[in-house]
Amino acid sequence: MRMTILDIQKMKERGERIPMITAYDYTSAQIADRAGVPMILVGDSLGMVVLGHSSTVPVTLDEMLHHIKAVVRGSQRSLVIGDLPFLTYTSVEQAVASAGRVMQETGAQAVKLEGGVSAAPMIARLVELGIPVMAHIGFTPQSVNQIGTRVQGRQSDAAAQLIADALAVEAAGAFAIVLELIPAELAAAITARLRIPTIGIGAGAGCAGQVQVWHDLLGLYSDFSPRHAKRYANLADQIGSAVASYASEVRDGVFPGPEHSATMPEGALRAALDQGE
């Protein structure tokens, strides 16, 4: 049975911290699901970590749908949340159309969108129509060209705005909210004021849950790791040396060995060659 947003709310109420991880394909979804991660986010961070863009801005809804479908196929228990990409929820009507495609075409159980007070009307309508919404405030990557990549809400006015944003998305019916790159004490204060779980990334330990990007957590970049990420493996190095070993075994004629090859019954090849002559 898949997790539902009601299970996530119960985890919050029981004081259980909620892990979430991003995944973008069938295989990684299967690994995250089997590891018991309750929520998988198909983030538009795929624009950077999978598609090689410098931000999430170029990601399209069709690209998101393609990856969300694969993650849904790869998972059985985790709640799958599909990100709505840049400029696909600029009005209530457009948000309904975009979120509707995610829900109907991919089988995801929820959508995520960026924004606080200004996103509340979209969130309210989606929730009214039966579409669970995760909100996302603080550093909102789709606005990188406007706000840069830096901690949000350090000063009191900006912090007050983020508190208002969090309260607005909860009132609009969001089932959870991502807090990205905000000071730890502000994230803890927002968490204490909300009934719904806060899921932090670069927002300290006082959130109800945490989210990390698959590639950051697994060290899939050998040369880059954001400050808020913790590497639990160094897969770029391990994969790099596995691929180099494969390439050198092919060059040296070591791979494939007899154990990787099929053979014919004795005499069958001779008979085939004779027939062909």
Residue 216 makes contact with ligand KIV by CB under 6 A? no
Interactions with ligand KIV, residue window 113-152 (CB under 6 A): 136
Indicate if 180 belongs to the active site. Answer: yes
Residue 109 makes contact with ligand KIV by CB under 6 A? no
Cβ atoms of residues 136 and 114 within 8 Å: yes
Strands 133-138 and 176-180: parallel
Q: Which of 16, 180, 249, 266 is catalytic?
A: 180
Residue 43 makes contact with ligand KIV by CB under 6 A? yes
Interactions with ligand KIV, residue window 186-205 (CB under 6 A): 201
Query: What is the nearest approach in angstroms of ligand KIV to the Cβ of residue 50?
Result: 11
Residue 178 makes contact with ligand KIV by CB under 6 A? yes
Cβ atoms of residues 202 and 180 within 8 Å: yes
CA distance between the termini of the chain: 61
Which of the ranges 4-12, 39-47, 67-75, 190-198 carries the binding residues for ligand KIV, by CB under 6 A? 39-47
Residue 75 makes contact with ligand KIV by CB under 6 A? no
In the complex with ligand KIV, which residue's Cβ is closer, 68 or 253? 68
Residue 22 makes contact with ligand KIV by CB under 6 A? yes
From the list 52, 99, 107, the residue with the least C-alpha distance to 79 is 107
Query: What is the nearest approach in angstroms of ligand KIV to the Cβ of residue 83?
Result: 5
In the complex with ligand KIV, which residue's Cβ is closer, 226 or 240? 226
Rounded to whole angstroms, the Cα distance separating 94 from 272 reads 64
CB count, 10 Å around CB of 255?
13
In the complex with ligand KIV, which residue's Cβ is closer, 68 or 178? 178
Query: What is the nearest approach in angstroms of ligand KIV to the Cβ of residue 142?
Result: 9
- Scored b (16 or more CB within 10 A) or e, 14-36 reads eeeebbbbbbbbbebbbbbbeee
One residue of 12, 21, 37, 45 binding ligand KIV per CB under 6 A: 45
Rounded to whole angstroms, the Cα distance separating 65 from 51 reads 14
Q: Is 79 helix (H, G, I), strand (E, B) or coil?
A: strand
In the complex with ligand KIV, which residue's Cβ is closer, 98 or 257? 98
Residue 179 makes contact with ligand KIV by CB under 6 A? no
Length of the chain measured in residues: 277
Residue 40 makes contact with ligand KIV by CB under 6 A? no
One residue of 3, 24, 68, 83 binding ligand KIV per CB under 6 A: 83
Binding site for ligand KIV (CB under 6 A): 22, 41, 43-45, 83, 136, 178, 180, 201, 211, 213
Enumerate the active-site residues: 180
